[in-house]
Amino acid sequence: MFVTDIRKEFYDVVVNQRVALLISSDIDALCACKILQALFHCDQVQYTLVPVTGWQDLGTAFLEHKEQFHYFVLVNCGANVDLLEMLQPDEDSVFFICDTHRPVDVINVYNDTQIKLLIKQDDDLGVPSYDDIFRDEDEEDGDDSGNESDLGSEPSGKRRRFDEILFDYEQYEYHGTSAAMMLFELAWVLSKDTKDMLWWAIIGLTDQWVHDKITHMKYVTDIATMQRHVSRHNHRNEDEENSLSIDCMRISFEYDLRLTLYQHWSLYESICNSCYTSCNFKLWSLNGQKKLQEFLADMGLPLKQVRQKFNCMDISIKENLRDVIEESSNKYGMKDIRIQTFGVHFGFKNRFLASDVVHAAAALLESTEKDESASDTFIKALDCLSRSNLERLHLGIDLAKKKLIAIQQTVASCICTNLILSQGPFLYCYLMEGTPDVKLFSKPMALTLLCKYLLKAFVHSTRNKRCKLLPLIMAAPMDVEKGTVIVAGIPPESETSDKKNFFGRAFEKAAESTSSRTLHDHFDTSIIELKTEDRTKFLDALITLLS
Amino acid sequence: MPIVHNGAVTSCVFFAVSGNSYSAGTFISSTVGVPALTHSFCKQNNPAVQTMDPSEVEFLAEKEMVKIIPNFSLDKIYLIGGDLGPFNPGLPVDVPVWLALNLKQRQKCRIVPPEWMDVEKLEEIRELERKEDAFTPVPSPYYMELTKLLLNHASDNIPKADEIRTLVKDIWDTRIAKLRLSADSFISQQEAHAKLDNLTLMEINTTRTFLLDSLNCMYKLRSNLQPGSNKGKALDY
């Protein structure tokens, strides 16, 4: 059931108990975790933090802890499956789920006792009403696999309608309001919100935008909400005479450039490696390089300055940089080079934009060092979000730079060697094993980022009008010893895309029909693991399914 | 053994060993308030044992009282060191610094800066300190530690925190410079005793090791200048 008063029904319940926190491996979940940890520290609530990477992990973690804990908080996992059926908990276990995955499973919505959803009842949930799905007690609850009963025609007609409703409801997968923002609202209601928590909520929201999980409209609306909180915090402490210490954290609204990490890199590198500029200029081609030189010349920026570290650039250039770049980029067809975001500023040296921190934390979370387990990387990524761990954040930024360069090079090579094939209802690309940096792309977030950039680049480079509207499926080697590949599917690229992804169900059906050996372990159902040998028959099944 | 004082240490008395007598060791004593527990610590071989760690001084400083404005309510609490409270939201109450910092970190209160932590007052004190040759009275016996603790944990409750930090550091620097000067003249003029008023425990602690070690060395050197004296080797005091 949905929780209406998050303070009474969630916080006041757990504040005197021991709680197990099961946190998924994405940046929004990490930020939500930090906020919750800070609240728990204030009230000295005992908790255990368990990072989980997939459904199997969740199951094992639950089995390990079910004896000692009655209250479980799940962040960014668990809303989109029938949790009680999967975990088989005892009667007195209560689950608080704060998850961005939609659609929320109907069983979770209509369970009154054990499942509490910390989710806002927005308009975009569209949960079918109780009577539409659930029948009398002697019939099974409807689920989307459909019942194969052979009752009389009237009940089976009704059941078909229920199945249809459920099928429509669960067909597309998308994301809702950031979990970090939900927990920040809890902190706000408790009047315990600090600037640190506000910053984490902003990072959670920016993570959803960077990894393309929410629509542009929703991003802008949520930014406006955060902006209200930011102005409230800024007016609280500062006035003309009593200025705040320089070490205090200042968050400011920025209408900043869409160049990834440009303040920690050189401007030139950032332009070359940001998806937006690289796709618009088509920097994988010689023509594109020339256009870039023209662009820089048009703005009057000397090459020597532009290739320097951003902090060492001339002050006179840095002053009006944003306006100058916006003007010039309008001439080259890039109308949205600026995006609304937030930046933080503390101490004399430390300025970061929210997207910088997202990229750094994502690089740390998915770093492919040999002797680091999933929990090590999780803890490192969690640490880099604190203000006191700046070296870790800088290390993350360096890793993110390498990751971005790798992505751009892979995109360039895929486009130039025409590795993207149109299979009819979708585009398909397979990364061979020997590709440089292919290990980076065995991780889900990095692979989705690569998919997104590749699709954008493809849309800009192809002349085939029909291909521009196709979704993309990408496969990359995941585990060489076990012989598996990771397969990810993303919806088609468009200006007004609603980011709804149907590949989850499609993958399931294709795997069933060909009995391929797949593992649907990831919380995003559009990312699966597949045995390399079954790749071709799986793809053929998909093609027939989606045609 | 070093002397641990309960109240403010406001003056120090130094006794130097002259060339011949080796019975009195060097020691530091307080002449204010608490009965002076002056024990000589001769016979200690390891000078390092005789110092206090700065964190111990900070620990003592945390017993000072500071005003907070809580946002929760609690009845009077009875602790070994005294009674605290009752706490009512919005009403100021005096608590020790250790409790104030803990509550602040748990976002349960707002700290009110002490009266002396104000830019104009500190500027006056700084000017006075620079003019005088002797040590001027300090705003608080633990001014350095309190500044550091309060500005690190509660700088958003203290207006003009950066200026205050600079001013307190200036005052500290001036006083330490005077201390060094005084120790230097004490040694070079081979005085028998010196009296310094208005020193805080932190300042004494900062010079303690150096001063005592150097006086020991001087004693060793001086006693070795007289060959054939009664003792065979120099004793460390």
Q: What is the pLDDT of residues A312-326, one digit of tens each?
A: 888 888 888 888 898
**Interatomic CA distance for residues A33 and A121, integer angstroms:** 22
pTM comes to: 0.86
Q: Is B71 in contact with A191 (Cβ distance < 8 A)?
A: yes
Q: Is A390 exposed, middle or buried (0-12, 13-18, 19+ CB in 10 A)?
A: middle
Of how many residues is chain A composed?
A: 547
Residue A148 lies in a domain: no
Position B13 pLDDT exceeds 70? no
| pLDDT (mean) for B162-185 | 92
Q: What percent of chain B has pLDDT over 70?
A: 74
Cβ-Cβ contacts under 8 Å, B108 against chain A: 42
Q: How far apart are CA A28 and CA A214, in angstroms?
A: 12
How much is the pLDDT for A314?
87
User: Considering only CB atoms, which chain A residues are within 8 Å of B71?
Assistant: 191
Give the mean pLDDT of B192-217. 88
The secondary structure of residue A438, as a DSSP letter, is G
Give residue A135's pLDDT band: very low, low, confident or very high (50, 70, 90). Answer: low
With contacts defined as CB-CB under 8 Å, which chain B residues touch A241?
159
Cβ atoms of B14 and B205 within 8 Å: the answer is no
Are A524 and A101 contacting, i.e. CB atoms less than 8 angstroms apart? Answer: yes
CA distance A237 to chain B (A): 7
Helices (H), A336-429: 354-365, 374-384, 390-416
H-helix segments, A211-320: 216-237, 267-273, 275-281, 286-299, 303-306, 315-319
**Does A413 reside within a domain?**
no
User: Where do we find the tokens 């007690």?
Assistant: A137
Residue A221 belongs to a domain: yes
**A243 contacts on B by Cβ (under 8 Å):** 160
**Segment A368-397 mean pLDDT:** 89
CA A346 to CA B122: how far, in whole Å? Answer: 26
Q: In 3-state terms, what secondary structure has residue A83? A: helix
From A37, which residue of chain B is nearest by alpha-carbon distance? B106
Q: Do A436 and A336 have their domain in common?
A: no
3-state class (DSSP) for residue A128: coil
CATH of the domain spanning B7-34+48-222: 1.20.58.1020
Kindly write down the DSSP assignment for every residue of chain B, as one continuous string.
Answer: -PPPPSS---EEEEE---SS--SS---EE--SSSPP-----TT---GGGG---HHHHHHHHTTSEEEEEESS-B--EEETTEEE--B-TTS-EEEEHHHHHHHHHTT-EEEEPPTT-SHHHHHHHHHHHHH-SSPPPPSSTTHHHHHHHHHHH-GGGSTTHHHHHHHHHHHHHHHHHHHHHHHHHHHHTT-SEEEEES--HHHHHHHHHHHHHHHHHHHHHHHHTSTT-SSSSPPP-
| Residue A192 belongs to some domain of the structure | no
What integer pLDDT is reported at residue A374 of this predicted model? 86
Q: Which of A242, A247, A249, A250 to mutate to test the interface with B (most CBs of B within 10 A)?
A: A247
Structure tokens at A424: 């009819």
Q: What is the pLDDT of residue A130?
A: 76
Q: Which domain holds residue A360?
A: 210-239+247-405
Looking at beta carbons, which residues of chain B come within 8 Å of A42?
A: 106-108
Which of the residues A39, A41, A241, A244 would you substitute to probe the B interface, choosing the one with the greatest number of B C-beta atoms within 10 Å? A244
For A518, the token pair is 């797949």
Residue B31: its pLDDT value, please? 33
pLDDT for residue A268: 92
Q: How far apart are CA B2 and CA B60, in angstroms?
A: 15
Partners of residue A245 in chain B, C-beta under 8 Å: 151, 155-156, 158, 161-162
Structure tokens at A362: 């994502």
Whether residue A242 and residue B159 make contact (CB cut-off 8 A), yes or no, is yes
Q: By C-alpha distance, which of A244, A443, A265 is closest to B163? A: A244
CA distances to A37, A170, A182, A529 from A19, rounded to whole Å, are 11, 31, 18, 32
Considering the domain architecture, whether residues A465 and A521 belong to the same structural domain is answered as yes
The pLDDT of A190-200, averaged and rounded, is: 92
Q: Is the interface score ipTM higher than 0.90? A: no
Predicted confidence at residue B233, as pLDDT, reads 54
Contact list, B107 vs chain A (CB under 8 Å): 42, 192, 194
Output the CA–CA distances (angstroms, integers) from residue A253 to A152, A199, A344, A352, in the order listed: 62, 11, 9, 12
In a domain, A69, yes or no: yes
CA–CA separation, A209 and B232 (whole Å): 82
pLDDT at A518: 87
Residue B15 confidence (pLDDT) above 60? no
* pLDDT above 80: residue B187: yes
CATH (domain of A460): 3.10.310
In degrees rounded to 5, what are phi and psi of residue B37? Answer: -95, 85
Residue A16 contacts B where some CB pair is shorter than 8 Å: no
Check CB contact under 8 Å for A246 and B162: yes
Does the structure show a pLDDT above 80 at A229? yes
Look up residue A212 and give its DSSP letter: T
As a whole number of angstroms, the distance between CA A51 and CA A67 comes to 18
Q: Are residues A256 and A378 in the same domain?
A: yes
The mean pLDDT value for A376-382 works out to: 92
Tell me what pLDDT residue B231 has.
54
What count of CB pairs under 8 Å joins A to B?
Answer: 27
Q: pLDDT per residue over A446-494, tens digit each?
A: 999 999 999 999 998 888 888 888 899 999 998 888 888 999 999 988 8
B42 pLDDT higher than 70: no
Report CA-CA distances (Å) from B75 to A15, A244, B84, B88, B93. 21, 34, 9, 8, 12
- pLDDT of res. A367: 87
The pLDDT of residue B32:
33
Residue B80 has pLDDT above 50, yes or no: yes
Name residue B28's beta-bridge partners. Answer: B14
Residues A386, A446: one domain? Answer: no
pLDDT at A431 over 50: yes
Query: Average pLDDT, stretch B154-167?
Result: 90
B106 interfacial to chain A (CB closer than 8 Å): yes
> Would the CB atoms of B107 and A242 count as touching at under 8 Å?
no
One domain for residues A397 and A427:
no
Would you call A238 an interface residue with chain B, using a CB distance cutoff of 8 Å?
no
pLDDT of residue B191: 80
β-pair partners for B66: B95
The pLDDT confidence band at residue A171, using thresholds 50, 70 and 90, is: confident
Residues of A in contact with B106 (CB under 8 A): 41-44
State the burial class of residue A359 (Cβ atoms within 10 Å of its Cβ: 0-12, 13-18, 19+): buried
CATH number for A74: 3.90.1640.30
In chain B, positions 109-138, which contact chain A (CB-CB < 8 Å)?
A: none
Across the range A74-99, mean pLDDT stands at 90
* A437 in the same domain as A367: no
* DSSP 8-state symbol, A309: B
User: Which range is least confidently modeled, A148-152, A219-223, A300-304, A357-361?
Assistant: A148-152
Res. B81 pLDDT band, cuts 50 70 90: confident
Q: Are residues A385 and A445 in the same domain?
A: no
DSSP state of A533: G
Q: Do B107 and A194 touch (CB under 8 A)?
A: yes
pLDDT band at A131 (very low <50, low <70, confident <90, very high): confident
If one counts the domains in chain A, the total is 3
CB contact under 8 A, B155 and A248: yes
Average pLDDT score, chain A:
87
Q: Which of residues 26-65 of A touch B (CB under 8 A)?
A: 41-44
Q: Which of A79-88, A141-150, A511-520, B225-234 has the lowest mean pLDDT?
A: A141-150
Residue whose C-alpha is closest to residue A531's, from A472, A473, A487: A487
**Rounded to a whole number, what is the distance in angstroms from the first to the last CA of chain B?**
11
DSSP category for residue A8: I
pLDDT higher at A535 or B36: A535
Cα A154 from chain centre: 44
